[in-house]
Amino acid sequence: MYQQLKTDRSDLTILRTSSLTGALERELEHLILTGELKPGERLNEIQISTRFGTSRGPLREATRSLQAKGLVDIIRNRGVFVRSVSPKEALEIYDVRAAIFGLAGRLLADLVTDPMLTKLNGYLDKMDEIAAVKDFDQYYPVNLAFHDYLVTATGNETLVKEYKGFVNKLHLARARGLVQAGGLSVSNREHREMVDALASGNRERAQESFFRHVERSKIRFRSTLDADAEAGGGGSN
């Protein structure tokens, strides 16, 4: 049930700090991307309105914004549902994301500075610490912040917008390839290859390392799908 969802934020504080619609949108997006609202789950307007002490008008505006981001589906006469991403769609998104992320690497190779490299290495060290104890729940948000920083640092607003749209959809599939044994450490070794490529200033090398990282992530994700199919007694399509 929706009212059982846990959050460490103060609902009233959130609503006081920004516009009602914007605050609702951000909080619902947070619950979706952290998996507290699961793919296919229906958003109960009455419960949400009661929880935040608001009318349904701002809530409906917020859900329309989430629909535009690809996070929910609004089905007439049925309601609002957290969007589900099929394995096929997720794999296709990986392909497009790889191309966009590769471009980010190429652009960033010309822009990277020593302070940026210091910040990036700080992310890497933090992820190494977390990977050592195999804590996926801690690794995941730091991993996302690392990638977000890389893309945002390009300064290309169109690239950032498109990339984040694809990443939001992949959140719905939860990119479970990282959960594989050793997956966190392997992922962060690839991150170090990317940062080393940026430090070299070689655009082709940076583009290739960024592209290859997403391609390898796709392989890890596909492996989890195959493992799930075998465990369920079914074959892969």
Q: Are 102 and 211 in contact (CB under 8 A)?
A: yes
Going 230 to 218 to 215 to 220, the CA torsion angle's sign is negative
Task: Please choose, from the candidates 6, 82, 80, 10, the residue with its C-alpha nearest in 3D space to the C-alpha of residue 45.
Answer: 80
Which is more confident, 157 or 68?
157
- Residue 75: in which H helix or E strand, if any? strand 72-75
In a domain, 45, yes or no: yes
Q: Mean pLDDT, the chain, as a whole number?
A: 85
* pLDDT(237) > 50: no
Task: Please choose, from the candidates 206, 225, 175, the residue with its C-alpha nearest in 3D space to the C-alpha of residue 111.
Answer: 206
* pLDDT(42) > 70: yes
- Structure confidence by residue, pLDDT tens digits, 117-128: 999 999 999 999
Q: Which residues form the domain of 101?
A: 87-231
Going by the DSSP 8-state scheme, the letter that residue 8 receives in this structure is S
In this prediction, residue 234 carries a pLDDT of 45
* pLDDT(136) > 90: no
Cα–Cα distance, 40 to 131 (Å, whole number): 30
* pLDDT(235) > 50: no
82, 98, 121: which is the final residue of a domain?
Answer: 82
Going by the DSSP 8-state scheme, the letter that residue 232 receives in this structure is T
- Structure confidence by residue, pLDDT tens digits, 171-204: 777 644 555 546 899 999 999 999 999 999 999 9
**Hey, what are 114's tokens?**
């020593």
Report how far apart, in Å, the C-alpha atoms of 121 and of each of 137, 186, 194, 200 are: 20, 16, 11, 14
Q: Does one domain contain both 112 and 13?
A: no
* pLDDT(5) > 70: no
Report the CATH number at residue 60: 1.10.10.10
* pLDDT(107) > 70: yes
Q: Does one domain contain both 94 and 159?
A: yes
- Structure confidence by residue, pLDDT tens digits, 68-80: 888 999 999 899 9
Q: Does one domain contain both 57 and 167?
A: no
Range 47-67 average pLDDT: 87
